[in-house]
Amino acid sequence: MTLDAEFETLSLDTERPFTIARGTTRTVEYPLVRISDGDGNEGIGGAAPTRHYGETAATAAAVLPDLLDAVETIGDPHALDRIERRLGEVVRRNPAARGAVSVALHDLAAKRAGLPLYRLWGLDPDRAPETCYTIGLDDVDAMAEHAREAVDRGFSTLKVKLGTDRDREIVRTVRSAAPDAALRVDANEAWSRADAVRMAEFLADFGVELLEQPVPADEPEALRRVYESAALPVAADESCVRLPDVPAVADRADVIVIKLSKCASLREARRMAHAARAEGLDVMLGCMVEAQPSIAAMAHLAPLAEYVDLDGSLLLADDPFEGVGMPGGEIDLAAVDRPGTGVRER
């Protein structure tokens, strides 16, 4: 069999400027990979390069020709472990570039098997939690209005970005705008240990269900202190990038956040979910602002997670792809009636 692999970089606008503690995103440069098998099947993959993890669309584009050469050389779309190992030898970094190839190969392998990806993996679609919807940083009234809109669209869980000097005001205002929503917050490393311990108490009083990455990833002791004193579950995102990080955060967090843009492959994402289980950790599947090819692929893993934050495509002005729909947050895998990830051009 011969495989033919190519890529392009798409430029995708966000629906509104998306701001977190580290900065604002207005446009996402998204590498898109297509791999075809000569039998009329094409796998589509993508992933969001993230500067925080040392990757940009330009560095992804620089390594993708070598990655795709390796795919064509091995030439077997079902040799997923072998190709993944080879990709890791060709490029040690660039998790999004390798992740995009991983998604395209899994989409292709599942299409060749004639099964949706979650069925190929034997996962139970009834176990997929709903996705939350993220409220980015803005002025407080705009965040409250955005929260109200999300609740009106049917989302029952909101993730509120924090990491400002007005975090308490944001939580109070969003809470009163969405009194019945489940709230999670994400400080994206912005707090000191002392601030985080105090904020955890405040957040628990407001019924917040989860505190994500309160302190910098390079301060593991601070994370442990927050985890030990907090009255609500703590999730490790920036502190948990790849598989070896899972046991390392087991005594510092309740939940790990798995993202394709960090861990470089769907297979590694699955290994991390199983390792978390072994360590007594819960799993959140997360994303960057990104399009359906990667969002849908991760959504097929949702039955392995307790928490899902896969709203990346919903934050785009126009996703050129459809895949796994999430009306009101519900991830309805059983409704994916196409083989592969279900992704196709709109």
The residues of the shown chain that bind Mg ion, judged by CB under 5 A, are 186, 212, 237
How many Å apart are CA 27 and CA 15, to the nearest integer? 9
Distance CA 53, CA 193 (A): 23
Alpha-carbon distance of 188 to 28, in angstroms, equals 19
**Residue 142 is inside which H or E element, if any?**
helix 140-152
37 versus 189: smaller Cβ distance to Mg ion: 189
Smallest distance, Mg ion to C-beta of residue 63, A:
25
**Which phi and psi (to 5°) does residue 5 adopt?**
-125, 135
Residue whose entry in the numeric block shows the structure tokens 């579950």: 233
For Mg ion, the closer of residues 211 and 304 by Cβ is 211
Nearest 10 degrees: Cα torsion 148, 154, 157, 159: -50
Identify the residue whose tokens are 């967090």. 253
Closest residue to Mg ion in the complex (CB)? 237
Minimum Å gap between C-beta 290 and Mg ion is 14
Closer by beta carbon to Mg ion, 110 or else 308: 308
Q: List helix spans (H) across 187-291.
A: 193-205, 220-229, 245-248, 260-263, 266-278
Beta bridge partners of 184: 159, 210
In angstroms, give the least distance from the CB of 22 to Mg ion.
10
Name which of 209 and 322 has its Cβ closer to Mg ion: 209
SS3 23: strand
Smallest separation (angstroms) from Mg ion to the CB of 253: 12
CB of 109 to Mg ion, least distance (A): 30
Q: Are 328 and 318 in contact (CB under 8 A)?
A: no
E strand map for the chain: 4-20, 23-36, 42-46, 133-135, 157-161, 182-186, 210-212, 234-236, 255-258, 282-285, 307-308, 321-322, 344-345
Q: Which is closer to Mg ion, CB of 186 or CB of 311?
A: 186
For residue 72 the two structure tokens come to 């064509």
Closest distance between Mg ion and the C-beta of residue 3, in Å?
35
**Which of 37, 238 has the CB closer to Mg ion?**
238
Residue 68: CB minimum distance to Mg ion, A: 30
Question: HSE (CB half, 13 Å, CA atoms) of 276?
Answer: 27
Q: How far is the CB of 256 from Mg ion (least distance, A)?
A: 11
Query: Would you say 55 or 212 has its CB closer to Mg ion?
Result: 212
Closest C-alpha among 28, 43, 99, 44 to residue 67: 99
Least distance in angstroms from the C-beta of 17 to Mg ion: 18
Alpha-carbon span 25 to 13, nearest angstrom? 9
Give the nearer residue to Mg ion in terms of CB position, either 163 or 342: 163
Q: Nearer Cβ to Mg ion, position 107 or 237?
A: 237
